Structure 1
Amino acid sequence: MERRDVGGQAVIEGVMMRGSKNLATAVRTPKGNIEIDFKDNRPVTKKYPILNIPFLRGFFVLVESMKVGMESLNYSASFLEEDNEEPSKFEKWLDDKLGEKANSVLMAITMFISFLFAIGLFVALPTGIASVFKGAGISNVMLNLIEALIRIVILLLYMFFISKLNDIYRVFQYHGAEHKTIFCYEAMEELTVENVRKQSRLHPRCGTNFLFLVMFVSIIVFSFTGWGGIVERLALRIVLIPVVTGISYEIIKWLGKNDSILAQIIAYPGLKLQLLTTKEPDDSQIEVAIASLKAAEGIKDPNKNIEELIKTGTSTLKENGIDTARLDAELLLGNIIEKDRVYLITHKEDEVSKEDAEKYFDLIEKRRNKMPVKYILNKCEFMGIEFYVEEGVLIPRGDTEILVDEVLKIIEENQEMEICDLCSGSGAVGISLAHFRQNIKVDLIDYYPIPEKVSLINIEKNKLEDRVFFIKSDLLEESIKNNKMYDIIVSNPPYIEECEIEKLMEDVKNYEPHTALSGGNDGLDFYRKIIDQSQYTLRENGILAFEIGYNQGEAVKLLMENNGFTNVKIVKDFASLDRVVVGIKI
């Protein structure tokens, strides 16, 4: 059975397909998933049989195609709108006056303006230029031929220049994906990316072919109209549009069903013109075209497998400049289906339910917007321990493990000590110390409600309720008030200079709490306050240990020495940068 009843159109980041069952527009959303819109596919010539007259029906089909095309374009464009974008005054006025009809009115206005632009560029301009040659004694037929050649040149130049625009180039890629997919379907092959990729992107039933045929037919039709004044010619060309499009439509239908030599000769120029209007698509664009055709033809799409989802997620993240795209995609999918990375690698063909796929793409969207993976997953590994994290606490980093290691060196295996983890955030430092030293007690101190919530979750998660406690306090004020004394105060305070905050990576400055980052103008505000307050809460020969910025070692060391600390040392990280300062109170 031949399949010749599917047509389509490229839209913004998507493809519209018109099949025997539905009209479907599939769009790749910014999240990376594919959204599909369905509509009734009964054409106007079937709704109103009187319009299905050969050589006239083409005009009505053209008008309907323009309307459907605009609706599909509007649907695809809706995914690019910002959620918080304020409507313009004109849009508000239209909504107030027309309500739900506003979009239809805007579409009609857009189509009318587009029609005027097309008439001006491809009808008025060519016939106006051709008028220059009338005084040379050229026949009416030749003048019409010159006009047509000018029109073709304008069309070619127009297509060439707009193809250089990045957004239009992507539309042309989707145009190529549409053709390849239809070819694959017509060849009775399974609709897979591999099968579609090998097809030609030049299709005889393309709208580009139709445009060329309109040019060609107009030469013949307009030759019978003489060469009157420019107003007369312009009026005749507009009036004869239904005739020209009607004849062109019958020819394009015939080309779609005929593979004869004559058909190939007639289609050849239009096919070559498609070299401008179609570009080779990538696999993600082919996936959209396949989804659109399947929806239009009522072909049920099986669930995607693990590898397909990871590839799609990776592609979306790469396009947004995320270097760890593949790893992030794997972690996010693994979180949804509750499998580790080894499972994902060894079970690539396992299918994932549509419900889980949707949840996965929701997470991909968050990561696309540069939200850190650890916030998305609400977990982070630190010192080999899994911690709960969320926005509002700093994500524990590997550099901070050096601070924990230095403090662990000070505490003997079975030694009993009172420890304070100041500016504790998630509680990762203090809980790690309690995890590795069974006889110490730790107070986690922070001032904000989210650190309190997260710390309590992590205390319970690690079953340390009997040895680790949370105290809400502005630095050490509560401890001083209650005469609480500690053997060790360990702190990873905010230490980034205020002027450097805006220079941080997007996933840090846009998501991690400013209160956990900014250390004031010189980055040392919290070191000064903590060193001063520690005089009242640190026992004799007690230890004060800080994490510091790479350029703050000497400054913090000097602050400690000036406040009575001795044996102050700077510890470097694995990159040989200053990372920790440790001193003893005398």
Structure 2
Amino acid sequence: MGGLTRMCFAVSIGQRSAGRAARHMCMNADEEVERLCSVLSDCADVRTAVDAVDHSMRRAGVSEPASSAEYIVGRVVGANSRSALRRRLDQSIGGPEKELIGNLSMRRIVRREPVQYLVGNWDFHHITLNVRTPILIPRPETEELVELILKSETVRTSQACSFLDIGTGTGAILLAILKQRINATGVGIDINPEAVRLSRENSDLLDLSARTCFQQISVEEFIPETLFDVVASNPPYIPAKDMQALEREVKDHEDTNALHGGIDGMDVIRCILRRTSQLLKPGGDLWLEVDPSHPERIEALCRNDISLQELTFVEKHHDFRGFARFVHIRRRR
């Protein structure tokens, strides 16, 4: 048995030691990893390594196998984008690189770790963010939210908007906006201390620290020094009944508290709505990413709940898949 095969086989044996149920669930995946490691030992270049990983992930039923293979191999050979990887397809690879490819592939195939956590960073709306478990991975839908905010009248007509990002996570929403609006400033809050550390780290990497502040605090407890022009949030919004249907990549590795929004998915959303008048300037905008079942409920709350009488439901927007995903609310002047 070659060194690469021994390494991967030993790791998969360790994975199987977790218990009989885990052994049963992972048996086929472990066997596929062992087979992949054997194939990788014979790979001479990047192209054959990508093909080998892609093939094994397809056999193991991993979602998006081609992109997973490209990102994993790209990380190992120093290609920081898929286009850069394709320029290196004929580059030779050695034993240490094959071992690392095998190890990362094992984590993707057996443990179903998201490829974003494996490569350690991810592109989001013209910026690159460091990502690590369990902080929520920025999604394409949230890029659409950023676009809606940037195109809004409030942001387009103001020279120096102030932003609040509730549940900031990696800092994705706030940092993407500030990168496009050079005179804007913002605050990001999150109850997870690791999220606050990561968002500060990303702010430093993007040279935005002078215009940002990140705090570990809940939206209920946050007291702003001044009111904001725009409040934005991608809060926990998944209803309880939908949590078990999430893919393993999500429910096994991402923070449940950043996903689960309570019985109807609106626990944190209701809290944000109640606090909006104490956070947002008169005439300011609140933007939320929500579950498709929420826009009508939120509109009804704004219309009928006397505690929300300062808020006007402006409109809902659909995401690229056609789901009602975003709501725009304004505080009355």
Give yes or no for the alignment of 1:332 onto 2:72. Answer: yes
Structure 1 residue 543, shift from structure 2 partner: 1.3
What code does the residue aligned with 1:584 have? R
Partner of 2:138: 396
**Are residues 351 and 474 of structure 1, via their aligned partners in 2, closer, same or farther at CA, if it must alter by over 3 Å?**
same
**Are residues 433 and 413 of structure 1, via their aligned partners in 2, closer, same or farther at CA, if it must alter by over 3 Å?**
farther
Structure 1 residue 476, shift from structure 2 partner: 4.4
More helix by share: 1
Partner of 2:273: 531
Give the alignment of 1:168-317 within 5 angstroms.
288=38, 304-317=44-57
- Larger displacement relative to structure 2 (313-322 or 459-468): 313-322
Structure 1 residues 539-570: Cα deviation after superposition (integer angstroms, max 9, x where no partner): 21121111111221111222233312125211
Give yes or no for the alignment of 1:405 onto 2:151. Answer: no
Structure with max Cα Rg: 1
Partner of 1:572: 318
- Secondary structure at 2:316 match in 1: strand
Distance 2:278 2:36 in 1: 68
Instruction: Confirm or deny: 8 A CA contact 2:36 2:52 kept in the other structure.
Output: no
Distance 1:348 1:388 in 2: 26
Structure 1 residue 478, shift from structure 2 partner: 2.4
Give yes or no for the alignment of 1:464 onto 2:211. Answer: no
Distance 2:49 2:71 in 1: 12
Structure 1 residues 274-299: Cα deviation after superposition (integer angstroms, max 9, x where no partner): xxxxxxxxxx96995x99xxxxxxxx
Instruction: Confirm or deny: 8 A CA contact 1:417 1:439 kept in the other structure.
Output: yes
Structure 1 residue 349, shift from structure 2 partner: 3.7
Structure 1 residue 450, shift from structure 2 partner: 1.2
Distance 2:45 2:15 in 1: 30
- Secondary structure at 1:477 match in 2: coil
- Secondary structure at 1:444 match in 2: strand
Structure 1 residues 15-43: Cα deviation after superposition (integer angstroms, max 9, x where no partner): xxxxxxxxxx469xxxxx5229xxxxxxx
Instruction: Confirm or deny: 8 A CA contact 1:303 1:354 kept in the other structure.
Output: no
Partner of 1:350: 91
Partner of 2:6: 35
Partner of 1:159: none
Give yes or no for the alignment of 1:427 onto 2:168. Answer: no
Structure 1 residue 496, shift from structure 2 partner: 0.3
Could you list the structure 1 runs, at least 4 aligned residues long, displaced by more than 6 angstroms after superposition. Answer: 284-287
Count of residues in correspondence between the two structures: 312
What code does the residue aligned with 1:325 have? P
Partner of 2:222: 478
Name which of 444, 451, 455 aligns with 2:195.
451
Structure 1 residue 347, shift from structure 2 partner: 4.1
What code does the residue aligned with 1:85 have? G
Partner of 1:85: 19
- Secondary structure at 1:535 match in 2: helix
Structure 1 residues 449-477: Cα deviation after superposition (integer angstroms, max 9, x where no partner): 11011101110011011111101111141
TM-score by length of 1: 0.50
Instruction: Confirm or deny: 8 A CA contact 1:483 1:537 kept in the other structure.
Output: no
Distance 1:285 1:541 in 2: 61
Name which of 373, 389, 393 aligns with 2:115.
373
- Secondary structure at 1:518 match in 2: coil
Structure 1 residue 392, shift from structure 2 partner: 2.1
Structure 1 residues 65-90: Cα deviation after superposition (integer angstroms, max 9, x where no partner): xxxxxxxxxx99x948713238xxxx
Instruction: Confirm or deny: 8 A CA contact 1:419 1:490 kept in the other structure.
Output: yes
Distance 1:543 1:584 in 2: 5
Name which of 216, 236, 241 aligns with 1:494.
236
**Are residues 320 and 566 of structure 1, via their aligned partners in 2, closer, same or farther at CA, if it must alter by over 3 Å?**
same
Distance 2:263 2:113 in 1: 27
Partner of 2:23: none
Distance 1:459 1:347 in 2: 31
What code does the residue aligned with 1:434 have? L
**Are residues 81 and 527 of structure 1, via their aligned partners in 2, closer, same or farther at CA, if it must alter by over 3 Å?**
closer
Partner of 1:259: none
Partner of 2:24: none
Q: Which structure 1 residue ranges, 5 or more long, are not aligned?
A: 1-24, 28-32, 37-74, 87-166, 172-283, 292-300
Instruction: Confirm or deny: 8 A CA contact 1:476 1:534 kept in the other structure.
Output: no
Structure 1 residues 355-397: Cα deviation after superposition (integer angstroms, max 9, x where no partner): 1111111111111121111111111111121111111211111
What is the root-mean-square deviation in Å for CA atoms of aligned residues? 2.9
Structure 1 residue 316, shift from structure 2 partner: 2.2
Distance 1:470 1:432 in 2: 15
Distance 1:430 1:446 in 2: 12
Instruction: Confirm or deny: 8 A CA contact 2:36 2:53 kept in the other structure.
Output: no
Distance 2:295 2:93 in 1: 51
Percent of residue pairs identical: 24
Give yes or no for the alignment of 1:581 onto 2:327. Answer: yes
What code does the residue aligned with 1:575 have? R
Structure 1 residue 483, shift from structure 2 partner: 4.7
What code does the residue aligned with 1:576 have? G
- Secondary structure at 1:35 match in 2: helix
**Are residues 341 and 478 of structure 1, via their aligned partners in 2, closer, same or farther at CA, if it must alter by over 3 Å?**
closer
Structure 1 residue 424, shift from structure 2 partner: 0.8
What code does the residue aligned with 2:211 have? R
TM-score by length of 2: 0.85
Structure 1 residue 320, shift from structure 2 partner: 1.4
**Are residues 352 and 529 of structure 1, via their aligned partners in 2, closer, same or farther at CA, if it must alter by over 3 Å?**
same
